[in-house]
Chains A and B, each alone.
Chain A
Amino acid sequence: MAVSAARRRMAASEQLAGWAFVTPGVAVIMLFGAVPIAWSAVMSFQRNNLVSPSTPLAGLKNYRQMVHDPIVAQAIQHTLVYTALFVPGTMLAGLFLAVAMNRKVRFISLYRTAAYATMAISTISEAIVFIWLFDPSYGIANYLLGLIGVPPQQFLNSPSQALYVIVVMTVWGWTGFATIIYLAALQGIPQTLLEAAAIDGAGPWRTFRRVTLPLLSPASLFLAVWLTINALQLFDEVYLSTQGGPLNATTVLVYYLYDQAFQQFNFGYASAIAYFLFLVIIVITAIQFRVGRRFTYYRS
């Protein structure tokens, strides 16, 4: 009797402590996470804009409008093209640098710091520098191209080039991140495996292809998923460099969503686009895990 009473008192105090400990943090996440998620789901079915004060339910109107909106179709295309270039580009750059930097040569910490430093740069600082590098009239990119005989390009002013310039600037900005991840994974590879491959007569390239790369596959899967999620949410560089132009050539989903929400104040329509983006992220991430699992090798 006495024991069970004590245990009950103990359990009651644990209840109390549990709630006391989680309440402040959970309250913030409820108010600014869970409630908004439900709210914007409701809003996506409403005719919600600043023009009319009432917000009547409008069924699937916003979603139907999305299907027929040519700019949404363009935004999807630009987002996917951007992602398909940015993700492999960043991974290859990171892999190349990590392999080159995974050795004890002189100045190695200087080399590494140079790669990592790109991580300390905000997207805004990065975008301003690259707008200047790629300025059509005075930028050094056109000067360097001129040295090898290429005529001046319009870059961010050109509908056919602007998106690719944004790929270049964002790959540069994320290279440090990818390098850190790959370098950490490379340093986790046991020497004995590489030595065994060398003794078995595998050259450096074969060892890399058959031993190192498979052992890096968990890091590769992580990077692919992480970079894709970020790529699908591209906004800062577009906002700063092109505002979606020229001729909507760089209008990506999040930029259009921002434009609809906070320039046109179509909250209902913007919420529908946001949920569509969420769906795209879920589907692509799920596919990556599915496909990735087949090619991923876990040692433990």
Chain B
Amino acid sequence: MTATSATSAPARGAVRASASGGVSPARRRWRLPFSPWHLVLVPATLVLIFPFVWLLVTSVETPSEALHFPPVLVPHTLRFANYPDALNSAPFGRFFLNSAVVAVATVLSNLVLCSLAGYAFARFRFLGRGALFAVIMATLMVPFQVTMIPQFIITKWLGVHVLAAVGIDHIGALILPNAATAFGIFFLRQFFRTLPLEYEESARVDGASRLTILVRIVLPLATPALATLAALTFLDSWNNFLWPLIAITSTNQMTLPLGLATFQGAHSTEWPLLMAGNVMSLVPMLVIFFVAQRYFVRSVAATGLAGT
């Protein structure tokens, strides 16, 4: 992505420079010592990061500084005690752990189940393949709001009659319904179909089983697609709010967005406390995002380019 970011600016600049070879010294005076694009980029960036900055500033203010108008732009002392205070009034560590468990489990099960199904749909001929695939594609188009009420009833039933760990008010209920997605199966099937058949055929002649071929030959070739699916599934799971809101009521089963929303409901005017809790909720994801920025950006860009 960054490797191909050669841009239009140098080319255009070169053309203009050669066209205005004999510019008078008077005009050259107006030349800035830096690219004029900084004049656009700096204000735009400030607007983008301002909410983050104000979030951080408020998180170390005293309650009386926060409830002051005009706002206190620079706190007199940095009240870091807001952070332990927030941790004492809501178990953010637990929320984080739940979010992480749900996201990681969802990503792993999607990688496994969607690879298996996507590969079979791409390569095998079996009875009912067309019909099954059509049903999967149909579910892909339906918004979650259509399925959420029956999903709630089914999850409740499963928890009572089959396994409490996947029932209502348990984080298992956040994993199982998303353990495989229609998008994942479709996405990987499309990718598998672009791979050359020769490797698989020769491995088959050598007597390798279908599962071995998938694991040893196909999946290594599909690493970029798997990384994309992992990144998108992770983001989706981490930010999901509506389903946890419906499925979870106990504090110790809440994920970060739900826990944070509940915390906000209980402390809606204690702004420094609220902002300290908010900072703690978003820092882990920001760190993950910065570390894996390349992957996230490439994955998002890939969905856009695939869609066009």
List which B3-24 residues lie within 8 A (CB) of chain A.
4-12, 15
Q: How large is the interface on A (under 10, 10 to 19, 20 to 34, 35 or more residues)?
A: 35 or more
State the majority secondary structure of interface residues on B.
Answer: helix
Per the bound structure, the CA–CA distance linking A78 and B296 in Å amounts to 32
A229: chain B residues within 8 A (beta carbon) = 143
| Closest B residue by C-beta to A204 | B12
Question: Is B90 an interface residue, CB under 8 A from the partner?
Answer: no
Cβ contact within 8 Å between A129 and B278: yes
What 1/0 flags go to B126-152 for Cβ under 8 Å of A?
110100100110110111111111111
Tell me, rounded to whole Å, the shortest Cβ–Cβ distance linking A265 to chain B: 10
B:252-306 near A, CB below 8 Å: 256-258, 260-261, 264, 271, 274-275, 278, 281-282, 285-286, 288-290, 293, 296-297, 300-301, 304-305
Task: Find out whether the CB atom of B54 lies under 8 angstroms from the CB atom of A262.
Answer: no
| Stretch from B44-52, B77-85, B195-203, B220-228 contacting the other chain | B44-52
A295 at the interface (CB under 8 A from B): no
Chain A residues closer than 8 Å to B238, beta-carbon distance: 122
Q: Tell me whether A36 and B147 are in contact in the complex, defined as CB-CB below 8 angstroms, given that A140-B54, A194-B12 are known contacts.
A: yes
Contacts of A37 in B (CB 8 A): 138-139, 142, 146-147
Please state if B150 and A25 are interface contacts (CB–CB under 8 Å): no
**Contact mask B231-255 → A, CB, 8 Å, 1/0?**
0000100110110011000000000
B171-185: contact bitstring with A at CB < 8 Å (1 yes, 0 no)? Answer: 000001111111001
- Tell me the bound Cα distance from A258 to B241 in angstroms: 12
Residues of B within 8 A of A109 (CB): 2
Whether A258 contacts B242 by the Cβ 8 Å rule is yes
Asked if residues A138 and B289 are in contact (CB atoms below 8 Å), the reply is no
Minimum CB distance partner of B48 in chain A? A114
Is A101's CB under 8 angstroms from B12's CB?
A: no
Residue B25 at the A interface, CB < 8 A? no
B289 touching A257 by the CB < 8 A rule?
no
Which residue, A24, A29, A102, A270, has most C-beta atoms of chain B within 10 A? Answer: A29
Among B34, B58, B145, the one with the most A-chain Cβ atoms within 10 Å of its Cβ is B145
Complex interface bits, A32-72 against B, C-beta within 8 A gives 1, otherwise 0: 11111101100100000000000000000000000000000
Interface string of A257-289 (1 = CB under 8 A from B): 110011000010011001101100110000000
B114 within 8 A of A: yes
Whether B1 is near chain A, meaning CB under 8 Å from some CB there, is yes
* Chain A residues, Cβ within 8 Å of B235: 119
Q: In the bound complex, what is the Cα–Cα distance between A106 and B256 (angstroms)?
A: 36
Tell me the bound Cα distance from A100 to B36 in angstroms. 10
Q: Which residue of B lies closest to A132 (CB)?
A: B271
Other than the known A32-B151, A105-B41, A116-B297, what 8 A-B pairs have Cβ atoms closer than 8 Å? A31-B177, A32-B177, A114-B45, A120-B288, A125-B257, A187-B4, A239-B261, A262-B152
Chain B interface residues toward A at CB < 8 A: 1-2, 4-12, 15, 34-35, 37-38, 40-41, 44-45, 48-49, 51-52, 54-55, 58, 66-71, 113-114, 116-117, 119-121, 124-127, 129, 132, 135-136, 138-139, 141-154, 176-182, 185, 210, 235, 238-239, 241-242, 245-246, 256-258, 260-261, 264, 271, 274-275, 278, 281-282, 285-286, 288-290, 293, 296-297, 300-301, 304-305, 307-308
Residue numbers of A with Cβ under 8 A of B are 11, 14-15, 17-19, 21-22, 24-26, 28-37, 39-40, 43, 96-97, 100-111, 113-126, 128-130, 132-133, 135, 137-140, 142-143, 146, 172, 175, 177, 180-181, 183-185, 187-188, 191, 194-195, 198-199, 204, 218-219, 221-223, 225-226, 229, 233, 235-236, 239-240, 254, 257-258, 261-262, 267, 270-271, 274-275, 277-278, 281-282, 298
15 residue pairs from A and B, CB less than 8 Å apart = A24-B113, A32-B154, A36-B147, A96-B44, A103-B8, A115-B45, A128-B275, A137-B67, A138-B71, A177-B300, A181-B301, A184-B301, A229-B143, A254-B145, A278-B143
Nearest 5 Cβ contacts at the A-B interface: A18-B126, A218-B308, A36-B150, A21-B120, A184-B301
